[in-house]
Structure 1
């Protein structure tokens, strides 16, 4: 399948194409590049121009560059532009412009990727679906996703993220969604914002990219919901709230070891859906997805059935059995909102002693110590029997726990990995959560490998 011809790519980027090549895909990584891909020589931690020769050796159709790299033939198949990132953005805008299908864009402080994947699963039997891979949601991930989008796409599902003010609107304008959804707004990235209201205003900027008569799907039950509604109203969007008080709302949610079972009311229609992962927060996001897909023009009942095909990525709330323990792996990332949701899910996983393993939460701003310390006082922690933790921030939470709940504290996750056999015993329900850079995900791997579930010894490292 042809994705980009040399002539089309040159016209889209206003670049100069060498050779009459045809690209079947777009790649930024020589480790995963496939024959026929257009290699984009982005400059990030390293300059992608240093890898152009390798990409061509691996069968790349051509490379998008701002100069002919050293060691590459002047006659090599290239697309030469003034700036590689700007060239990728132009390619993304052109990819979006040629698609006549419907586009959904999703943002939010928590749950962007899982919600995006729910939407893809729900649409999978209703047409040709194109979506962002993994968490490609930043200033190069969004244009890359658009540049990879086939012209015959029926439905596109995009994820838009941010770390600082001003990032979402240009990406939303590039994506030009027909429907834009905000999963929730929470105290995330507070190092870059004054307060949660500032985060809400940034999230609401996604509505600035909506196509005319586009729909804004937003959480109805938040303190900052009026800010989100204001952002939608400013662009004349059709607004649909989801939540307990929303036009799209859950009627019944039950969670068990097999997953989450949902009955929902979506603009007057009642549907049922079964999710393969446990968690009431997943159910609420599913309600938002169903509302968004109805506004996108998809069949509501088919979407509800399709949700049963969704499976969370590793580290994003999957439940598995490891030896004699039940493991709730939510280790991909963390903030107070997602941590509270994960702890609530753990309570629903049947009988068994509750053991929690926590790593530091990052990017919480000047109140990060207090936010960690407060975890020990959360009501949901009362039913937790034992807590292990790693990192200097989580030390404040650990020290505030009653002595009988204190398991092992360690400076780094490596120490917990080395003592994996001491962390849980047969019959335990174990929940693991922490920010990516805490490396607490490595503790999950260590638990899987240990195969040992003896009674833990309390203490600290």
Structure 2
């Protein structure tokens, strides 16, 4: 194993004192549930938990060392090697900056109101065809997620892909300064987290912060069809970016979709990538996925890589957990249903995209489309109207039954046809039994909502309940 960091690197952290001898460093961790032997555990103090409560567990699981705050080391003096620092999160940020400084890899950063995680994952897959590509496997896009993703980047990486998120103005600035991308992508500007902004223009300005950290002469990749393209372009032009590359379906896009044939499980795209024609298959559903593939190909072109090879990689793409993941689940009495798990998070744009994909999903004879919708958060005063505005997309989704959760969904409920209103509950937990009882063979069940609603537990309960019932029935069939 090649050490990710050396003993000297750890002792070089600002104000660091080493107690004990660390083992070889293979990774960085802030979570003992996923810690691997050889990881250095950073005891970050968060809003809900303090990493110092888990230091002994980390060291007992084989952590190479634990980075702890000055004054807390006495509690772990016999547990293993410690790196004592004035500020644990600041130490992680320093290590992240050191990783950025030492790499010769090409660095890409992605932000956007919707689609940033999917685009980051697609870039990891596509760029992986050309060399070792480093990117977080989860949505590590905040004040601790970005530095830990940097700190985990092997020195030999040919490419690094970083997702940068925000809930408030000013949050992207320090993160893009750490990442220092040579290519920065904005997937979209939509009224997501609008409750923290006076107007959607403020969201565009916050997303535009990503260009402030760009390397000189870098490339800004922007959504040409978005209503806030000009505002984003102004931010890019005011930065050190050398040029702007746009993507979309409109005539002015540098990377333009000539045709998108969106299907229930996959899509076909024909595109013009700055004069190069290419046709390719995307191995997952969603028109929004097809549009964001244009941003990926724009990045590939900016890096001077083979566009055809990159496009062909898209056939192997699969949805991540909670982001359109599909599972066929056996029912105890025979037959099966299709679970479409969109439960990772939700906002008005992603909700519409998920409903549009539900409309494309084929339903066998006797089956129905069932939409389980939990409310969307961080919309502020726009929340009630945003939920009312889902009525048309829900009807267009061809949903036969709708289950809704949360007080904000009461704004949608009376605007739906009475024939499709199945049940409403104050919390997603109140729908578990009702949804399970309603499912019949051939049904397609799509689950979508904001993370705080815990609607993901409803999706998990459907998997567990029917897998368990199926096992008891002795059919031997389970979720696939």
**TM > 0.5 between the two?**
yes
Aligned to 2:388: 373
What residue ranges of structure 2 are gaps of 5+ in the alignment?
331-335, 471-480
1:385 deviation in Å?
Answer: 2.5
1:409 deviation in Å?
Answer: 1.2
1:330 aligns with 2:330: no
1:241 aligns with 2:246: yes
Aligned to 1:457: none
Aligned to 1:118: 122
1:96 aligns with 2:108: no
- The answer to whether the Cα contact below 8 Å between 2:56 and 2:79 also exists between their aligned partners in 1 is no
1:299 deviation in Å?
Answer: 2.3
Aligned to 1:314: 321
The secondary structure found in structure 1 opposite 2:312 is helix
CA deviations over 1:240-279 (Å, ceiling 9, x no partner): 1110121111122122344122222111112222222111
2:236, 2:373 → 1: CA distance? 37
- The answer to whether the Cα contact below 8 Å between 2:329 and 2:463 also exists between their aligned partners in 1 is yes
Aligned to 2:413: 398
CA deviations over 1:284-322 (Å, ceiling 9, x no partner): 011111111221333222211222222111210123333
- The answer to whether the Cα contact below 8 Å between 2:189 and 2:204 also exists between their aligned partners in 1 is yes
Aligned to 1:448: 463
1:124-135 to 2 correspondences below 5 Å: 124-135=128-139
1:334 deviation in Å?
Answer: 0.6
What residue ranges of structure 1 are gaps of 5+ in the alignment?
454-461
1:59-458 to 2 correspondences below 5 Å: 59-67=62-70, 68-73=72-77, 76-237=80-241, 238-245=243-250, 246-323=253-330, 324-351=336-363, 353-378=368-393, 381=396, 383-451=398-466
Aligned to 1:43: 45
Aligned to 1:458: none
2:79, 2:425 → 1: CA distance? 56
The secondary structure found in structure 2 opposite 1:181 is strand
Aligned to 1:11: 12
- The answer to whether the Cα contact below 8 Å between 1:327 and 1:429 also exists between their aligned partners in 2 is yes
Q: TM-score, normalised by structure 2?
A: 0.90
1:164 deviation in Å?
Answer: 1.0
Alignment RMSD (CA, Å)? 2.0
1:19 deviation in Å?
Answer: 4.2
1:445 deviation in Å?
Answer: 2.5
1:355 deviation in Å?
Answer: 2.2
Change (3 A) 1:50 1:321: closer
Aligned to 1:459: none
1:351 deviation in Å?
Answer: 4.5
1:75 deviation in Å?
Answer: 9.6
Of 32, 35, 39, the residue aligned with 1:33 is 35
- The answer to whether the Cα contact below 8 Å between 2:371 and 2:447 also exists between their aligned partners in 1 is yes
- The answer to whether the Cα contact below 8 Å between 1:18 and 1:75 also exists between their aligned partners in 2 is no
- The answer to whether the Cα contact below 8 Å between 1:12 and 1:94 also exists between their aligned partners in 2 is no
CA deviations over 1:49-68 (Å, ceiling 9, x no partner): 23222222221111112224
Change (3 A) 1:449 1:56: closer
1:142, 1:382 → 2: CA distance? 36
1:76 deviation in Å?
Answer: 4.5
Moved more, 27-36 or 279-288: 27-36
Change (3 A) 1:379 1:436: closer
The secondary structure found in structure 1 opposite 2:220 is strand
- The answer to whether the Cα contact below 8 Å between 1:106 and 1:116 also exists between their aligned partners in 2 is yes
